[in-house]
Structure 1
């Protein structure tokens, strides 16, 4: 069973990711993991904090001579902007944050809540997800997260599935907002600048694609083991994500079944690919049927609300005397939809890796590869 926990505060000494159940024998690619951490810090519309941090994952446990041991793995991302003990309490909770509800729940300070609920915590989740991607790429599974909507602006979703993941990634990495259509960057930047001038913020929609998935990750047999449910929970647990859809998603509810379900064909030339030759002219299901992968690409989208911290704060109250005031202001971004694309990609990757280990075992990479090959051979005979 692959799982992970995170620890640390936004302005504390460090963030920690503890990964348990990761197989032995996976080579660590530090440069790859650090690149993903840097991507999380990028994208147009980010604030000054990203200039202070130079995120890097240090492996504290679970690795020997550059390879995983099968024991718990601990990764640390140090905060350069460590100043927690010098920070003061906030007097006025900020709408849209965990400030008010958390302070009441724990009968404590707003500061204690906001430091842990901050999206800075996602650096640890990206580190864990990048580690999971090192395992997935051993089996030819590739993931990619990108922006498809910025506020009310649609951005280049149409051509994405006509590209390979490496080609789509190359385009995304050229884009200042992490879209697969860099030609819209200028317009998107102007949109973000306009919101900044107005003291407002922007959200958007992210799409994640996973290619190379075999049949049968997840299961129909029990509700809490269905892969679509696990993916939805993992993505909804990312700060500011307010909705998740897979494949056609909500649009499927508006169409008759003949326009929703994906016909099944067979192409013998693809019999040795992960789809075992079973091909579909459409992928409205988004690669999941009955809680299981069906050999097609996984397509998942997530809706991110605008950042809650506004330079022109909304109404709030001073908790000490309940007198009306403007909400407190903490340094923040104008738009972090690009970072969210990286974060959601990596939480999806971790859940895929967990399902892969559940299906094929997780003691060692060499054993997993043998079981994977055996399953593919037996499935082709089916």
Structure 2
């Protein structure tokens, strides 16, 4: 992963020149892309894919290496029957298998991948939990209760400081970090909350039996509905759903920057570019030089929310889902000459 970040002097250059040129007219499925790129739907809610009925309301996602192929994991944001499923891709991009990796949970909105190749699926419900899941489908998912009981949205691992950042889906939610006792084992550890002073304070009762975690530390900083979360190059980027802000927390200096507005989801590419899903069903690219330009647009279905952005190992394929209504959704793959990619 590139060590470049966006934390440089000066504002973002909105309307910058895209490294891929202009978006062309939409093709099949309403997906508009730059020249040289192609897209396809790899799964649709309620329809069979490799023998599995793909889940409704697809949300957060991530990719994992799998021999010469790879795996894409996707959460389901349904109440009561949420969970997560996986698609296993062969080296040529064909789908070899599809299977569930988490069941019996609800409102699994976002999450995050770990450096040891597990998937953290987060429940948004009251006193929600974080489940550590095996994307390869061989081990049962396990709740990681030490990471707190609150409306979890997303998780992002910081291997440099050996912590996991967590967002909270409340209008007065907080931004947390979890310090495991042993990096690579999330069974035990300390939950801390970011304070208005810029420092971190321990949450006295992560289980939140009597008082919500966000109300336990007097000086905790508030955010308007924490949402997506992604760590790269010493910076944890996260979004807030209420106001659509993209934030950047520099873990090296403890500086917090408001980067831009209108962003819902985020990931990064090997080039150091950020890819952000906007409220207009568009994915923009933000270069390390702070230029912002459209990369793709989804014209159909109207009103879709783009979620689950993730690059396959090698950086040559981008996955995301378009969630529409309460249950519908499609999961897309975009392939092409991404900057910094070493595999297609």
Q: TM-score, normalised by structure 1?
A: 0.28
Q: Point out the structure with the larger strand share.
A: 2
Q: Which has the higher contact order (CA 8 A, sep 6+)?
A: 1
Q: Which has the larger radius of gyration?
A: 1
Q: Point out the structure with the larger helix share.
A: 1
Q: TM-score, normalised by structure 2?
A: 0.30
